[in-house]
């Protein structure tokens, strides 16, 4: 069942009305991206998709606190934070197609968004390995005396991995400037949270490592902002890391390949749908006089236009050239790599010079 959290009316941080509306706009944008990609996957236009529907408050609320100079180490469902940091929407879709718009040149699996310019590191498919990376980057920033905070994301299932425990211990001992965010959406693919741990949630685990832990209503975007702000200021001021547990719910399957009705009691889903983060925040904004029907319609229309335009640009983009397989590997390619390239590309005569025998 949903956890009790601070109501938005009581938890509201000191943000300007336009900033509050902007948070809601990003939540709507992320869900619209979800809906578009899921439709495209069902149509066979992209291969795989990991939805984040129902978790928009946790994503936007925590991600909005990070500055452009801070690093994000995501799990599967934080791609929206990259868009919030200014990443082009067409390139976002380009990653799903693996074409020339993909900053990774088609080398990664779908949903593994990444951009060095936006300080957003690709998620790691091996569960939880991004967390030691986030802690290590924070440790490096501390050694260098940089004003940088890293944000390491993990799902509830990832907390059962050794990487979680190693990262927590190292972060606390080193008092590194890192915010560790667990999106507890109740499911690790088909494994319920009750099978992950016997403790009362994730945040309580922080005490064992000697760091603060915060358990937050992850469907309340303003409560997420507040908790993340607290952790961010602690990290930036030298107070060390914080573990934040954002309790939310995965509305759909783990991915486009998953059918949650095969393992989930669907009678328990409606209770979570009643605290839908987008509808909940929309009601708060309307009661506060910041959002009305006309403005909502205009925002949703702009979002649809932006997504449609991005797909029109991304889908027909050219495929990545074959010779890019051999770039960005070595500064000075060794003979073995040059021979492999010759075997694939040839020298223009139809014969590959120096190719290895098969």
pLDDT digits (tens, 9 = 90+) for 215-259: 999 999 999 999 999 999 999 999 999 999 999 999 999 999 999
Query: What proportion of the chain, given as a percentage, has pLDDT over 70?
Result: 93
Residue in 25, 254, 284, 341 annotated catalytic: 254
153 among known catalytic residues: no
What pLDDT, on a 0 to 100 scale, did the predictor assign at position 3?
A: 53
Query: Is the confidence at residue 9, as pLDDT, over 50?
Result: no
What pLDDT, on a 0 to 100 scale, did the predictor assign at position 358?
A: 29
The number of angstroms, rounded, from the C-alpha of 34 to the middle of its chain's C-alpha atoms is: 13
Query: pLDDT category, 164, cuts 50, 70, 90?
Result: very high
Of 266 and 82, the structure prediction assigns the larger pLDDT to 82
**With left for phi above 0 and alpha for psi between -120 and 50, is residue 238 left, alpha or beta?**
left
C-alpha neighbours within 13 Å on the C-beta side of residue 166: 12
Residue in 19, 42, 107, 263 annotated catalytic: 263
Of 54 and 352, the structure prediction assigns the larger pLDDT to 54
165 among known catalytic residues: no
**Per-residue buried b or exposed e for 46-76, using 16+ beta carbons within 10 Å of the residue's own CB:** beebbbbbbbbbbbbbbbbbbeeebbbbbbb
Domain spanning 8-320: CATH superfamily: Thiamin diphosphate (ThDP)-binding fold, Pyr/PP domains (3.40.50.970)
Rounded CA separation 23/44 (Å): 32
pLDDT digits (tens, 9 = 90+) for 20-37: 999 999 999 999 999 999
Residue in 119, 250, 251, 341 annotated catalytic: 250
Query: Is the confidence at residue 76, as pLDDT, over 60?
Result: yes
Contacts of 93 (CB under 8 A, 6+ apart): 101, 310, 311, 313, 314, 315
Of 239 and 10, the structure prediction assigns the larger pLDDT to 239
* Alpha-carbon distance values, 29 to 33, 153, 357 (Å): 6, 21, 52
Contacts of 33 (CB under 8 A, 6+ apart): 80, 83, 92, 307
pLDDT digits (tens, 9 = 90+) for 175-206: 999 999 999 999 999 999 999 999 999 999 99
Rounded CA separation 23/17 (Å): 10
Among candidate residues 215, 214, 213, 211, the one with its CA nearest the CA of residue 239: 211
Domain ranges of the chain: 8-320, 321-358
Summary mean pLDDT of the chain: 92
Summarize the confidence of residues 119-136 as an average pLDDT.
Answer: 94
Tokens of 202: 């994730």
254 among known catalytic residues: yes
What pLDDT, on a 0 to 100 scale, did the predictor assign at position 356?
A: 32
Query: Is the confidence at residue 10, as pLDDT, over 80?
Result: no
What pLDDT, on a 0 to 100 scale, did the predictor assign at position 125?
A: 86
Query: pLDDT category, 1, cuts 50, 70, 90?
Result: very low
What pLDDT, on a 0 to 100 scale, did the predictor assign at position 14?
A: 84
């Amino acid at each position: 069942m949903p956890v009790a959290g601070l109501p938005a009316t009581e938890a509201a941080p000191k943000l300007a009305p336009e900033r509050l509306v902007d948070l809601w706009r990003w939540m709507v944008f992320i869900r619209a991206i979800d809906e578009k990609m899921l439709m495209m996957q069902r149509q066979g236009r992209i291969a795989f998709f990991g939805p984040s529907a129902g978790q928009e408050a946790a994503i936007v609320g925590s991600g909005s606190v990070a500055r452009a100079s801070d690093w994000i180490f995501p799990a599967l469902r934080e791609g929206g934070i990259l868009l919030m940091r200014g990443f082009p929407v067409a390139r976002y879709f380009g990653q799903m197609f693996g074409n020339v718009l993909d900053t990774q040149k088609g080398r990664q699996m779908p949903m593994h968004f990444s951009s060095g310019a936006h300080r957003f590191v690709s998620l790691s498919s091996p569960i939880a390995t991004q967390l030691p990376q986030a802690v290590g980057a924070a440790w490096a920033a501390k050694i260098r005396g940089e004003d940088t905070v890293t944000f390491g994301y993990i799902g509830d299932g990832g907390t059962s991995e050794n990487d979680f425990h190693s990262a927590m211990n190292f972060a606390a001992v080193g008092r590194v400037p890192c915010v560790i965010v667990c999106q507890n959406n109740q499911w690790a693919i088909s494994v319920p949270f009750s099978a992950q741990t016997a403790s009362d949630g994730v945040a309580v685990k922080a005490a064992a490592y000697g760091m603060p832990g915060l358990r937050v209503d992850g469907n309340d975007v303003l409560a997420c902002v507040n908790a993340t702000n607290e952790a961010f200021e602690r990290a930036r001021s030298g107070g060390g890391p914080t573990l934040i547990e954002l309790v939310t719910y995965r509305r759909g399957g783990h991915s486009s390949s998953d059918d949650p009705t095969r393992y989930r009691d669907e009678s328990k889903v409606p209770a979570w749908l009643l605290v839908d983060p987008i509808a909940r925040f929309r009601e708060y904004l309307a009661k506060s006089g910041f959002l009305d029907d006309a403005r909502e319609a205009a925002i949703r229309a702009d979002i649809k236009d932006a997504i449609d335009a991005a797909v029109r640009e991304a889908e027909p983009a050219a495929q990545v050239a074959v010779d890019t397989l051999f770039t960005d590997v070595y500064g000075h390619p060794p003979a073995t790599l040059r021979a492999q390239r010759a075997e694939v590309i040839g020298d223009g005569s139809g014969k590959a010079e120096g190719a290895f025998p098969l």
